[in-house]
């Protein structure tokens, strides 16, 4: 089966790192762009290069935005650790970044690669800037999927998910100008938990990627236990990649989704219009997102684990 050409925009990040491995195995990963998010742009770029080195993969990494469009720069070091990869010791990458212009790379690659699927698993700053540079970007993409938002609730605040909250102005541009996107929100990713069983299976596989993923899971499972009392860690970003690689494991429906920018308690919230008229625009708002509602979580967890183990056998 022909592998989907994929470009991942990310902020590695523990779950981003696992997502890169899954994409490297399941897709034709044509490139990686990095953005400020979980940690600063130097660290996210370093981490993306380091993960590709561990995986023994020749995939270029292009540095992107160092800060949000308008919001102050934030991070999630309290979740991902000071380096962004937990307490994992990862070898210094020997390759350098291919460029410091992620936006150009996104726009040029969309025009050059047929049916390219763009997957954004960090704040949407680079994607918004790419839309500003090339308003025709949506017409050159085969698809666009994000890990972001939530049907209700949040993780970084009571009402907002981190990727949207970190740069809500960018998210507003992307949701209003990308045409149609697939939204993999917390309602889905909070069902896709990897825990000790998956960690032990990865460690037993003893491949470079599997051992790195097991070490990352050690950190993520401990943090999920401390923050939420869960026995497994939500693997947000790899779930978004799986929504592209195996869409039959998910179900969603098309809805109008707006980004709240001004609420003192709701800034960064994804406001999903559930009114019946929203399905055909009677509410005056356009359906702009395929909001995923259900997931075969057990199958996704198994597929992520299988993919990580298989990476090094390429």
Is 252 among the residues that bind Ca ion (CB under 5 A)? no
Q: Residue 50: in which H helix or E strand, if any?
A: helix 41-55
Is 155 among the residues that bind ligand RIB (CB under 6 A)? yes
d(Cα 309, Cα 313) in Å, to the nearest integer?
8
Is 237 among the residues that bind ligand RIB (CB under 6 A)? yes
Q: Which does 167 bind (CB under 5 to 8 A by kind): Ca ion, ligand RIB, none?
A: none
Find the shortest distance in angstroms from Cβ 37 to ligand RIB. 5
Q: Residue 294: in which H helix or E strand, if any?
A: strand 289-295
N-terminal to C-terminal alpha carbon distance within the chain: 16
Q: Which does 174 bind (CB under 5 to 8 A by kind): Ca ion, ligand RIB, none?
A: none
Q: What one-character-per-residue DSSP string does 75-91 give?
A: --HHHH-TTSSTT---P
Q: What one-character-per-residue DSSP string does 272-289 give?
A: E--SGGGGTTTTS----E
Site for Ca ion in 96-155 (CB under 5 A): 121-122
- Interface residue with ligand RIB among 68, 122, 149, 232 (CB under 6 A) is 122
Is 16 among the residues that bind Ca ion (CB under 5 A)? yes
What is each CA distance from 102 to 45, 126, 273, 284, in whole angstroms?
11, 7, 32, 35
Is 166 among the residues that bind Ca ion (CB under 5 A)? no
d(Cα 55, Cα 28) in Å, to the nearest integer?
14
Site for ligand RIB in 69-108 (CB under 6 A): 76
User: Of 47 and 163, which has the nearer Cβ to ligand RIB?
Assistant: 163
User: Do 308 and 25 form a contact (C-beta atoms < 8 A)?
Assistant: yes
User: Of 119 and 214, which has the nearer Cβ to Ca ion?
Assistant: 119
At 167, list the tokens.
């740069």
- Max Cα distance, the chain (Å): 55
User: Of 77 and 254, which has the nearer Cβ to ligand RIB?
Assistant: 77
User: Of 154 and 278, which has the nearer Cβ to ligand RIB?
Assistant: 154
Is 15 among the residues that bind ligand RIB (CB under 6 A)? yes
Find the shortest distance in angstroms from Cβ 303 to ligand RIB. 18
Task: Give 111's contacts (C-beta < 8 A, 6+ positions apart).
Answer: 134, 140
User: Of 66 and 279, which has the nearer Cβ to Ca ion?
Assistant: 66
Measured at CB, which residue is nearest to ligand RIB? Answer: 162
Site size with ligand RIB, rule: CB under 6 A: 16
| 151 is annotated as an active-site residue | no
d(Cα 120, Cα 116) in Å, to the nearest integer?
13
Stretch that binds ligand RIB, among 89-97, 159-167, 209-217, 296-304 (CB under 6 A): 159-167
Rg (alpha carbons) of the chain, rounded to whole number: 18
Find the shortest distance in angstroms from Cβ 125 to Ca ion. 12
d(Cα 299, Cα 295) in Å, to the nearest integer?
9
Site for Ca ion in 209-248 (CB under 5 A): 237
Catalytic residue from among 140, 190, 219, 236: 236
Q: Residue 25: in which H helix or E strand, if any?
A: helix 14-26
Residues with catalytic function: 236
The site for Ca ion (CB under 5 A) is made up of 11, 13, 16, 121-122, 237
The site for ligand RIB (CB under 6 A) is made up of 11, 13, 15-16, 37-38, 76, 121-122, 147, 155, 161-163, 236-237
């Amino acid at each position: 089966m022909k592998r989907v050409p994929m470009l991942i925009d990310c902020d590695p990040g523990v779950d981003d790192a696992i997502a890169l491995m899954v994409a490297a195995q399941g897709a034709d990963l044509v490139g990686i762009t990095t953005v400020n998010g979980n940690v600063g742009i130097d660290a996210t770029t370093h981490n993306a290069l380091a993960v590709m080195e561990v995986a023994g993969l020749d995939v270029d990494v292009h540095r992107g935005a160092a800060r949000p469009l308008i919001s102050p720069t934030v991070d999630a070091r309290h979740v991902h650790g000071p380096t962004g990869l937990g307490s994992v010791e990862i070898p210094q990458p020997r390759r350098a970044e291919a460029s410091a212009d992620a936006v150009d790379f996104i726009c040029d690659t969309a025009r050059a690669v047929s049916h390219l699927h763009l997957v954004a698993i960090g704040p949407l700053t680079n994607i918004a800037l790419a839309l500003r540079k090339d308003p025709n970007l949506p017409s050159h993409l085969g698809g666009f999927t994000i890990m972001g938002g939530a049907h209700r609730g949040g993780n970084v605040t009571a009402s907002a998910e981190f990727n949207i909250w970190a740069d809500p102005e960018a998210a507003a541009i992307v949701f209003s100008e990308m045409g149609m996107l697939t939204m993999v929100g917390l309602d889905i990713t909070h069902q896709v938990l990897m825990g000790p069983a998956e960690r032990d299976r990865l460690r037993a596989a003893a491949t470079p990627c599997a051992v790195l993923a097991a070490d990352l899971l050690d950190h993520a499972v401990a943090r999920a236990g401390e923050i939420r009392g869960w026995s497994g860690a939500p693997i947000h970003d790899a779930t978004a990649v799986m929504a592209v690689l195996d869409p039959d494991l998910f179900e969603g429906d098309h809805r109008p989704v707006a980004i709240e920018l001004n609420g003192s308690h709701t800034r960064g919230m994804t406001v999903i219009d559930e009114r019946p008229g929203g399905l055909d625009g009677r509410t005056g708002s356009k359906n702009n997102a395929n909001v995923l509602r259900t997931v075969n979580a057990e199958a996704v967890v198994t597929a992520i684990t299988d993919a990580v183990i298989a990476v090094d056998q390429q």
